Structure 1
Amino acid sequence: MGGLKVLLIVLYLSFVVAETKPSLAEKLREDADLSQFLALLERNAVANTTLQHRQTTLFAPTNQAFQRYNGEMDDSLVLFHISNLAVTLTNLDYSISSELDGNPPLWITRRRDTMHDDIYVNNAKIDISRSYQATRNGKLQVLHVIDQVLQPLLPLSQSSGGSPIYNPNAYQFLEHSDEFNVGPHRLRSFRQKVNQLQKKEVFNADGRHTFFIPVDEGFKPTTRSDLIDAKVVDGHVIPQHVLFTQATPDNKEFKSLAFTDNVKVIISFTTTMNGKEEITFVNSNTVAGDAKHSRGVVLADIVRANIPVKNGVVHLIQRPLMVVDTTVIDFLKEKEDGPLCKFYEVIMDLGEHNPFLNELTMAKDITLFAPSNEAWNEISVQNIIRNHHKLLDILNLHLVRERLPLDAIIHNNMNQIYQAPTALPRRYLYFNVINHHNNMTLTVEGGGVNATVTQTNIAATNGFVHIIDRVLGVPYTTVYEKMKTDPMLNITYNLGKRQMFNHQLNEMEHRYTYFVPRDHAWLKFQIKHPSAYNALFREDFGYYTKQILERHMIRADRSYTVSDLKQLANETHPFVLPTSRDPLRLRVKESDKNYYVEWNGRWIHVFRPDVECTNGIIHVIDEPFVLESDIRATGASDKTRVAYPLSLLFISFVFARILEY
């Protein structure tokens, strides 16, 4: 009996403690950061009644969120932030009904990143650390703090279609879009195609989906409408996923409804900065096409994002997806604030009839590696684009006179480093495909600059566009930094660590011309002279290693391009360059658009000439400058050297043959 009394006392005290815990209303009043939401709540009778007498979940935007909000602000807005169900973080499901007229759903997304999980309601992120729950009159009430104001889809007050439509699905929204506040955008052209092709059920479907609807401005030229068939309409829907822009990772791919046996279309989001403004694009990638549907990516600006509907979310886009009907130059100039608008401005700075623009306009088969808007903000780039002669060379370095979709680059790069000739004579682009945990990254190097391809395979009628994150041909690293980061130059860089040889390559007082054997060249040398190669890495042979590298480097008051050397040293008359070791006597010739240097009686291929750096130039060569006497000096330690297993040498060489570095 005594035990029962103790239990009753514990239960009573627990109840008292629970009841004395600050209520949600008190919690809101205590938090100055939620004052604007509290003011909105207190003006609404339904919200106040719910807070006083019912279980509830509040999604409370911060004051900063209200300052960023530019939508309509009336007393009913708070009801879109309230549910009559009390749901904690762990119990949040795919959706929860709001108290707004028609009870439109609030969509929940759990975004799993490597470090932690984030939870979103529509496009707003929940601050997990600030979630709170309390009991009021025996009713559980929950508070979640969010970083955006939730914007409902509301009918216009002057709607002329009879009763206003609350909580429409995607098709009802499309059919009656003129009765909703979607700004200046009109959706009549796409609506007409949906009805004409009898695709109403696609937008009427129950469940949770993502819909992309192109606005009327995107149907110019008018012939574009003729290219939209039933398959294209399907390509504007992602089934079984409700994707709000902030809650969806960039470049994550989702299958569209147009993912069938013959045609396969995937969709992803891309976010970029234009100045201080963040712009989100949607990409449709037709990875498998047919006679009517071209392969490649179509990029469309989202002009009005995150419109919640009964069966998911709608994004209004600037142009139809999947439709390839513009040239490369048309894509560049299509939008004044598009992803490549600064690139187009730079091209036009050369005049309306400059040769680069003429080639983009007239060419039938091209691939353009186009620097993003952010890439042009680099100070070094800003300084150099004022020189129009130099600028034309830089622009030509970004153009390849053939179609190079991503799969062609990957195929060509399988057994060797793929190099593609550019519109700049005797200059090539070099590609590297990095596969890390099934995430593939493509890098391209031109003129000493290594850039990452951030958007591939934008399709045009006359070729492809790949967006890159740097301007090629405008160096931004020293010789040292280039050696350290270039995946093709690892072995020479590691050899240069001996006796601190590399440190001088960071100096800006001198100009360097450095003939650097690429990794493949050293691995060929390793097979031919294994003892000498192994000795180069021994601690007690650092002096010899340094001497060999000194023969490859000229430190002077200027650096030498290959064309400079060709003028100074032709096939019959060598030119002597001073090095720290001994004079470097070279002859230079050009054959089949490739350069060769003759050293010590051997013609050596210059695999990558003129890799420009901020303090010099690197020439990547296919054979090291090593003499027989160097081999004898290093090989003298055969009896004491640490032998590398032959099998390891063989494996490393085979691996190098596969990757070519």
Structure 2
Amino acid sequence: MSPFLFLLFLFSPIKPDLWAETERMPDLKQWRALCGYYAVATAYMKDSNARITVFAPVDDVFTYNPDIRALDQKETLSHIVDSQVVDLTMNKLWDKQTLIRSTINSGYTYITQFENNPGNFSYFANAGMLCNHASNQWGIISGEQYLFKICTPMGHRPYPGTALSFIREHDVTVFEERQYNNRDLSQIRDILDRTPDIALVIYGSSAWNGFHTFFIPNDAAFARVVDRNRVDREVLLAHVTSTNRVLFTWPWLYDGGQHYYPSVRFSANIIEDNFKLKLVMRNITDRRTGKWDLYAVSEVYERYSQFRRGAVWAKILVPNIPTQNGVVHIIDNVLGIVSETIDMMIYRNEKTTTLMRYINTIGQIVRNYFSATGGLVTFFAPWNEAFDRIPEQIERRLLRDRIWLEQILKLHIVPAKELTSDEITNETIVNTIDNMRQLYFIKGEWPANNVTYYVIGGGIKTAIMMDNVAATNGIVHYIERVLGVPYQTLWEIMRNETRLQYSFHMMENLQLRYSMDPWQVLTPEQNFTFFVPTNEAWAKQPQSLVSRMNDGNHWQALQYVYKRHILQGQALMYTDLRERTYVMMNDEKVVITRRGRFFELYWPRGNRRARVIEGGEIAGINGYMHMIDNVLIYEPDLRAHACTTEPVFFQFLIVCLVMVWRPGWFTSFFIFFR
């Protein structure tokens, strides 16, 4: 080497490398320790001239997912892309939602961009979410190297072939070091062999044809299909998203509410989007364990019989397997077709074992509605955790009283109707099979684009957790509470009900609250029918009157007003209300009348009316609560306090004067009564 080149090498600035940069980052200690186990990963991190992009999990990812600490060398290298992904630093909208880049171990990494709002983006590397929302310095550039922190696991190690080769793979040694295999995919392997055009062009597509998301049913999923002839090429296409939509679990669930994606249509050698059959991914959380399961949901795709409505839910057993033409998710159900009755569906569901025990308690009276010959019904099926919410004394009574149990189960069934969520509005009212009680619905939307449907029946409001599950004889909605079975006292209901917060805070200082929250329930004395004013009802009243009621000097007057709204000794459901005169808790008479389809409370002495809100019935352990839109109150109610307290004050004043005038009188009075 010449002296000039030696001096140039000696005094040239040393490029920093990512290995040295990570030493100063306390949240990348686990990633640095993992790379330190493998010479190849360490060499890439120390080579400042290597044009790579590293997606490094932060320490929290290792803490909440301990399996990542045991990644082998190839799985570790799948976090390193063999090129610079400069698109992540440009902060602008991409032409394509997903970028495909190869890793240094000959796999693929799919980088996805989502626009939260104009100019604000979120990025994902496979299933790993980049931590740009958690730190301002989320991109690290050192020499020719790029490093981005990720806050969720990226997913499994990429499979070196296409989705078709993954299904057809016979060499078991390929899966020895992997956390997944294709041992249970023999059925779809045989079906793809009978449809070579779909198998080669779609499932075996290369980068020239585009990338897809593949939902692959296992053998147990095909075992549930009664007629195997219905699984044809159209059903196979229902398991594949359209071109260039490579969607891992975290990006799909994070997609700002826009979760629906079209499946693929293939005819006359043309691959196009099929918006008539859309796919969506949902997550359901177990409230007891905190564990959440992922489901792939597709619309029903029936062609050989009458038009079917609803959706098919399939649990994702093995998510996020990158392949050379997209990503594979292994599921436990066949999408697009329906072959099970409601009875078969709830029988095999592990979340409805308690429901089946209750149904079998009363024999075939209710179960006949779920059979194949029972006709179309809509069934709101409570999960196991719904029965766990029921207090023990209520559950014992429910199992002992077969008539009440039958009424409760019938309350969950809507006859001769396939009620799907697209038909539900805040004005929807349907009859149940007992033709007496009705179900009401609420369509809640918070935050934006996150729609939750609620059903109200028998005074219980519950959220629909899994909606539109299609069966051959109807629709099933899985709910988190049992309709018609109370589990809280009236006081606890008021505390948790948003529309009753004003009434709740006004009753906190009243002795009446202990009657609403008794220690002993299911006794005649503790049964109440409470017509409780809503927040809007109190807002209609004169502010001066409401303020004086709550100034601390008129608690007895306020309690007297509330007792005018309470019927003691009777627990009346909405269907039990009749046009008659009732004697309320304060011994005043209130008349219940009907105006149109609504019930009204009429208080003759004060000439006040309050309408009973339809669907505002709430069942409690110690009675029923009905929301009303007005308050039975007027100005003279303030004198109820004066009539009860002021004479006591004057009597006490007279006794004091007598004691001063005749001092020995009080001693003689005390000895006499002793």
TM-score, normalised to structure 2, is 0.69
How many angstroms does 1:284 deviate by?
0.5
How many angstroms does 1:552 deviate by?
2.0
How many angstroms does 1:267 deviate by?
1.3
Separation in 1, partners of 2:598, 2:18: 79
- 1:48 pairs, out of 36, 39, 43, with 43
For the 8 Å contact 2:17–2:45, the answer to whether it is kept is no
478-487 or 242-251, larger mean C-alpha shift: 478-487
Alignment of 1:113-132 (within 5 A): 118-128=122-132, 129=135
Structure 1 residues 632 and 127 mapped into 2: Cα distance closer, same or farther (>3 Å)? Answer: closer
Percent of aligned pairs with the same amino acid: 22
User: Is 2:336 aligned against 1:330?
Assistant: no
Aligned residue in 2 for 1:508: 517
Letter in 1 for 2:163: A
Structure 1 residues 38 and 153 mapped into 2: Cα distance closer, same or farther (>3 Å)? Answer: closer
Q: What per-residue deviation string (whole Å, max 9, x for no partner) do you get for residues 53-87 of structure 1? A: 5232333345447732499x543333222223244
- 2:566 pairs, out of 545, 553, 557, with 553
Alignment of 1:514-553 (within 5 A): 514-516=529-531, 535=542, 539=546, 549-553=562-566
User: Is 2:276 aligned against 1:264?
Assistant: yes
Structure 1 residues 212 and 265 mapped into 2: Cα distance closer, same or farther (>3 Å)? Answer: same
- 2:624 pairs, out of 617, 620, 623, with 617
User: Is 2:357 aligned against 1:313?
Assistant: no
Aligned residue in 2 for 1:357: 367
User: Is 2:252 aligned against 1:248?
Assistant: yes
How many angstroms does 1:463 deviate by?
0.9
540-549 or 82-91, larger mean C-alpha shift: 540-549
Letter in 2 for 1:125: M
User: Is 2:30 aligned against 1:33?
Assistant: yes
Q: What per-residue deviation string (whole Å, max 9, x for no partner) do you get for residues 178-222 of structure 1? A: 665315422433652574273232221632321112122212256
Say which SS state the counterpart of residue 96 (structure 1) adopts.
strand
Aligned residue-pair number: 573
User: Is 2:90 aligned against 1:94?
Assistant: no
Which segments of 5 or more consecutive residues in structure 2 lack a partner in the other structure? 1-8, 92-97, 176-180, 266-271, 520-525, 639-674
Q: What per-residue deviation string (whole Å, max 9, x for no partner) do you get for residues 460-518 of structure 1? A: 1111111223332333455356457668x67xx75787797989457513846345388
Separation in 2, partners of 1:479, 1:537: 28
Structure 1 residues 585 and 142 mapped into 2: Cα distance closer, same or farther (>3 Å)? Answer: closer
For the 8 Å contact 2:534–2:628, the answer to whether it is kept is no
For the 8 Å contact 2:101–2:110, the answer to whether it is kept is yes
Separation in 2, partners of 1:495, 1:67: 49
User: Is 2:53 aligned against 1:57?
Assistant: yes
User: Is 2:110 aligned against 1:107?
Assistant: yes
Structure 1 residues 386 and 332 mapped into 2: Cα distance closer, same or farther (>3 Å)? Answer: farther
Separation in 2, partners of 1:312, 1:595: 59
Structure 1 residues 22 and 255 mapped into 2: Cα distance closer, same or farther (>3 Å)? Answer: closer
Alignment of 1:588-599 (within 5 A): none
Alignment of 1:98-497 (within 5 A): 98-100=103-105, 103-111=106-114, 118-128=122-132, 129=135, 133=140, 135=142, 139-142=144-147, 144=149, 147-148=152-153, 150-154=155-159, 166=160, 168-176=161-169, 181=175, 182=181, 184-189=183-188, 192-193=191-192, 195-196=194-195, 198-200=197-199, 201-203=201-203, 204=205, 206-221=209-224, 223-239=226-242, 240-249=244-253, 252-257=258-263, 264-274=276-286, 276=289, 277-286=291-300, 291=305, 294-336=308-350, 340-347=351-358, 350=361, 353=363, 355-361=365-371, 363-378=374-389, 380=391, 384=395, 387-388=398-399, 389=401, 391-406=405-420, 409-410=423-424, 417-423=427-433, 426-435=436-445, 437=448, 439-479=450-490, 482=493
Separation in 2, partners of 1:143, 1:541: 62
Letter in 1 for 2:369: E
Say which SS state the counterpart of residue 364 (structure 1) adopts.
coil
Structure 1 residues 400 and 425 mapped into 2: Cα distance closer, same or farther (>3 Å)? Answer: same
Structure 1 residues 407 and 59 mapped into 2: Cα distance closer, same or farther (>3 Å)? Answer: closer
Aligned Cα RMSD in Å?
5.0
Separation in 2, partners of 1:222, 1:608: 40
Q: What per-residue deviation string (whole Å, max 9, x for no partner) do you get for residues 85-126 of structure 1? A: 2446526972321011xx221112345568985533212334
For the 8 Å contact 1:447–1:612, the answer to whether it is kept is yes
Separation in 1, partners of 2:374, 2:495: 38
Which segments of 5 or more consecutive residues in structure 1 lack a partner in the other structure? 1-11, 155-165, 527-532, 635-661
For the 8 Å contact 2:282–2:297, the answer to whether it is kept is yes
Letter in 2 for 1:208: F
Separation in 2, partners of 1:370, 1:238: 30
For the 8 Å contact 1:455–1:468, the answer to whether it is kept is yes
For the 8 Å contact 1:252–1:268, the answer to whether it is kept is no
Aligned residue in 2 for 1:84: 82
For the 8 Å contact 1:298–1:323, the answer to whether it is kept is yes
Letter in 2 for 1:243: L
Separation in 1, partners of 2:345, 2:547: 60
Separation in 1, partners of 2:227, 2:543: 64
Separation in 2, partners of 1:447, 1:537: 37
Separation in 1, partners of 2:576, 2:44: 85
Q: What per-residue deviation string (whole Å, max 9, x for no partner) do you get for residues 215-237 of structure 1? A: 22212256432222333222211
Q: What per-residue deviation string (whole Å, max 9, x for no partner) do you get for residues 611-656 of structure 1? A: 3124532145799878xxx69999xxxxxxxxxxxxxxxxxxxxxx
Structure 1 residues 178 and 280 mapped into 2: Cα distance closer, same or farther (>3 Å)? Answer: farther
For the 8 Å contact 1:442–1:452, the answer to whether it is kept is yes
Structure 1 residues 430 and 192 mapped into 2: Cα distance closer, same or farther (>3 Å)? Answer: same
Say which SS state the counterpart of residue 308 (structure 1) adopts.
strand
